[in-house]
Amino acid sequence: MIQQEPDVLPSGWVKAPTARRGNIISAIKELVTKTFVIAELEVRKLRHDPTDLVVRSVQPSLWLLIFGQVFARLREIPTGSLPYLDFMAAGILAQSVLYIAIFTGGMTLIWERDLGIVHKFLASPTPRVAMVLGKALACGVRCLSQVLVIYAIATFLGVKLNFHPIAIFQVLLLVMLGAGCFCIFSLIIGCLAKTRERMTGIGQMLTMPLFFASNAIYPVAIMPGWLKFISHLNPLTYQVDALRGTMLLNGSSVYGFGFDLMILAFTLTVLAIIGGRLYPRVAM
């Protein structure tokens, strides 16, 4: 005799996990979709002011053309088998990404708050994390132009770059991840600062320590002990290390590309969660 399946299943029976899986998949799909929508809205702003990309390329150009040439002649910074300009090129690309991300994320958020755009976003059913990740993704797209600038100047100066398609893809991925990390970090500061003047001051106060407490223009090995400890907590150190191993023809990574990528991805995830929690505070 075949026993029929009861019409009402007990709580927590077979069909409940299926429903939960469906909810998780739909939530992830919504998060990804809304993230790309927010990113598209941010990227559209470049149409109104594309000269911003040109202005942003001035600073890294000066670092490579002026400071790089001078430091290379000093020959006081040990860079192993790499010429100093080769060593510095990856650091200047990371520095350019850092500056754009820091001064784009928080300032844009406060500007949108003043225009009432943030209130409209918060009134929508869009997940807060999607709002944060969308801005981070758009910042990464904005920073991709710096890859072209740095590659062009570095090639002109004789830096031996790796133009293999896989290496270029890895560089673009690292730029996107680094831009996302520091953009969300800037958004968190913007949620707490809440004014443009305060955000500008804090941004200027943080960019230089982040830059100099990394391996961008000198190796970690020559740092004093306390600075080495800080550099190991600095995500920029791992971005520069990975860039140095991928964008240079004779470059190498100290920590390994996989480890650097894991650190950047973990930092991005943690900052995105924190940023999603703090995002509504900017409207208070």
- What string of DSSP letters covers 128-189? HHHHHHHHHHHHHHHHHHHHHHHHHHHHHTT--B---HHHHHHHHHHHHHHHHHHHHHHHHH
Structure tokens at 66: 């002026």
Please report whether residue 9 resides in a domain.
no
User: How many domains is the chain built from?
Assistant: 1
Q: How far apart are CA 60 and CA 150, in angstroms?
A: 7
Residue 201 lies in a domain: yes
Listed as ranges, residues in the chain with pLDDT below 50 are 1-2, 5-16
In a domain, 34, yes or no: no
On average, the pLDDT of the chain sits at 83
CB count within 10 Å of CB 82 equals: 19
Query: How do residues 130-179 score in pLDDT, each as one tens digit?
Result: 889 999 999 898 888 889 989 998 898 888 999 999 999 999 999 999 99
CB 79 within 8 A of CB 179: no
What 3-state class would DSSP assign to 194? coil
Strand partners, 248: 161
Burial of 106 (0-12, 13-18, 19+ CB in 10 A): buried
Asked if 122 and 283 count as a contact pair (C-beta separation under 8 A), the reply is yes
Q: Note the pLDDT of residue 13.
A: 41
How many residues are recorded in the chain? 284
In the chain, the percentage of residues whose pLDDT exceeds 70 is 88
pLDDT at 20: 57
CB 146 within 8 A of CB 100: yes
- Domain span holding position 203: 50-283
Q: Is 46 exposed, middle or buried (0-12, 13-18, 19+ CB in 10 A)?
A: middle
pLDDT value for 168 = 94
Q: What is the pLDDT of residue 108?
A: 82
- Rounded Cα distance between 104 and 281, Å, is 19
How much is the pLDDT for 10? Answer: 47
pTM here? 0.84
Query: Could you tell me the two tokens for 176?
Result: 């996107």
Would you state the pLDDT for residue 241? 94
Measured CA to CA, the distance from residue 109 to residue 131 in angstroms comes to 11
The beta strand positions in 4-66, using DSSP E, are: none
In a domain, 221, yes or no: yes
Tokens at 124, concatenated: 């929508």
How confident is the model at residue 246, as a pLDDT?
Answer: 94
Query: Tokens 């133009």 correspond to what residue?
Result: 163
Contact by Cβ (8 Å): 177, 261? yes
